[in-house]
Amino acid sequence: MKEKFERNFTEQEQVRRDKYQNLVKENRDPFVITKFERTHTIGEIIGSFEKYSKEELQNLKQKEIKVAGRIRLFREAGKKAVFANIQDQENNIQIYGRQDELGDVDFEYFRDLDLGDIIGLTGTMMKTDHGELTLRIKKYQLLSKSLRPLPDKHAGIADIEEKYRRRYVDLIMNPETKKTFQSRTKIIRKIQEILDNKGYMEVETPILHTINGGAAAKPFITHYNALDRDFYLRIATELHLKRLIVGGFEGVYEIGRIFRNEGMDTRHNPEFTSIELYVAYEDMEFLMNLTENIFKECSMLIQGKTKIEYGGHKLDLGKSWKRWHMVDAIKDLTGVDFWKKMTFEDAKKLANQKGIKLEKHHSTVGHIINLFFEEFVEDKIIEPTFIYGHPKEISPLSKANNEDPRFTDRFELFIIGREYANAFAELNNPIDQFERFVEQLKEADAGNDEATGMDIDFIEALEYGFPPTAGIGIGIDRLVMLLTNSESIKDVLLFPQMKPRA
């Protein structure tokens, strides 16, 4: 069995392994160490001592400092001294070791350390003649031996796929990568803060569902051995969160992983993070205002401003966002007026004239309206824009508009041709909801593998009484991409799923 996984090491890797074996023989094995007590992080050292001059540090009565980090730079200053740089999570600092202070044996082992090794240091602070803050080492301890060499400091990881596959190396080499994921956490915390301050409750709902419901998407399927039946990985958190509104909670939200068995590209990942929020007694306009506020506050937190650049475009998140009915958008850009009531055959002729291909399940005027929007409008939107008034046929969970029931009180937020949010005035009529599910089943039979399934338990929940409710889903990954100026969704996922190596 071991032979199956036999590995061939490069010359550099073998040298490092030989060094490690020598350390073991000399009773210096770093991997047996369980703890190193730090007195400071590197950032705390810089904050405490950067203000002093070289002379002031020489005269300052100092306590010994203990700090730890990874060696990123190493250079000898003659045969009896070494300068190096170490980094921790946030910062890096120069260190200085001398043979006469470390002792002959320890100094030789210190000189033999490699880039990537993790060390614990004890010493005092000084400044060099060039004014660089430096830790003067009194003692050191090797805490972990790096058995693989780091990529070249300047070239970094040349293969972009390796950057995603070996994210841990990318994080070591690239401070900007680390900053992106720190920003991601800050954005999520800010959204939680905004919603918590409004009195809404964060909850957790099941990932394994018996019905592929809550969105139009193709699901992943798995088998639940204890129940001996197939389950779907959730494509949305919607239907369980709505059950909680039925149960009496008036504002609930969930931030969590969603799974959609669809394509992978720079915008899409089959496993992604969303937030869904449901608020009783509110409407679509309320969610538009809340969404604007969330994006603006997160932009101020990460960028320090609401005027940002992304994808070669300058955006102003601070001004009031455009609100555009889907039919008006189509009319403005194509001249085709879907406000006029028409038969499916009339709409089909318009689609044929414009070169729009219909699938078997595209069986209503509403489907064709949506196809027109996707073909002629979606990628033309640059500034933040709420597209509202989606056709009833493509919005099985949204309440019909009172003035024109062909359309729903639903909106999607688009920025530079990408969808960032999807929101409804939630359908709370169980009779209507049942009929909408039936229509979705017909679409599934006609070949639509993204159609919503029938959820009888959800229908029964609505029959107990579901108040007028506003609900929204926001894509966390795309929001982070926007606010960190990240080109690909893989840039904001710590460990994106990758195609197998050849």
Structural domain includes residue 167: no
**What angle (nearest 5°) sits at the alpha carbon of residue 262, between those of residues 253 and 162?**
95
Structural domain includes residue 342: no
Structural domain includes residue 498: no
Look at residues 387, 417, 415 and name the one whose alpha carbon lies nearest to residue 483.
415
CATH number at residue 249: 3.30.930.10
**316 and 443 part of one domain:** yes
The residue type of 264 is M
Contact 96, 135 (CB under 8 A): yes
In the predicted model, residues of the chain with pLDDT beneath 70 are 1-4, 154-156, 158, 502
Q: Which SS3 state, helix, strand or coil, does residue 429 take? A: coil
**143 and 194 part of one domain:** no
Measured torsion, CA atoms of residues 386, 392, 393, 396, in degrees rounded to the nearest 10: 90
User: Per the structure block, which two tokens stand in for 122?
Assistant: 């004890």
User: Per the structure block, which two tokens stand in for 426?
Assistant: 């939630």
Contact 96, 127 (CB under 8 A): no
Domain that holds residue 461: 172-321+383-492
**188 and 139 part of one domain:** no
Structural domain includes residue 198: yes
262 labeled part of a ligand binding site: no
Task: Give residue-wise pLDDT tens across range 283-314.
Answer: 999 999 999 999 999 999 999 999 999 999 99
Write down the pLDDT at residue 261. 93
Measured torsion, CA atoms of residues 102, 106, 109, 110, in degrees rounded to the nearest 10: -20
**115 and 193 part of one domain:** no
For residue 295, what are the CA distances in angstroms to 321, 379, 398, 420? 11, 21, 24, 10
The residue type of 397 is L
Domain boundary among 116, 150, 184: 150
**94 and 242 part of one domain:** no
Q: How far apart are CA 14 and CA 268, in angstroms?
A: 40
Write down the pLDDT at residue 155. 61
User: Per the structure block, which two tokens stand in for 459?
Assistant: 């229908």
**119 and 197 part of one domain:** no
Q: How many domains does the chain have?
A: 2
**128 and 251 part of one domain:** no
**308 and 199 part of one domain:** yes
3 labeled part of a ligand binding site: no
Structural domain includes residue 378: no
User: Per the structure block, which two tokens stand in for 189?
Assistant: 């915390």
Backbone phi and psi for residue 260, each to the nearest 5 degrees, phi listed first: -130, 120
**480 and 412 part of one domain:** yes
Q: How far apart are CA 64 and CA 162, in angstroms?
A: 41
Structural domain includes residue 3: no
Structural domain includes residue 347: no
**56 and 124 part of one domain:** yes
Q: How many CB atoms lie within 10 A of CB 438?
A: 11
**141 and 199 part of one domain:** no
**Terminal-to-terminal C-alpha distance of the chain:** 23
Contact 170, 157 (CB under 8 A): yes
Structural domain includes residue 160: no
Burial (0-12, 13-18, 19+ Cβ within 10 Å), 425? buried
Would the pTM count as exceeding 0.75? yes
Look at residues 122, 85, 84, 74 and name the one whose alpha carbon lies nearest to residue 101.
122
For residue 399, what are the CA distances in angstroms to 204, 245, 324, 405, 429? 25, 16, 18, 9, 8
CATH number at residue 64: 2.40.50.140
**203 and 137 part of one domain:** no
Q: Print burial letters for 88-118: b (CB count within 10 Å at least 16), e (below 16).
A: beebbbbbbbbbebbeeebbebbbebbebbb
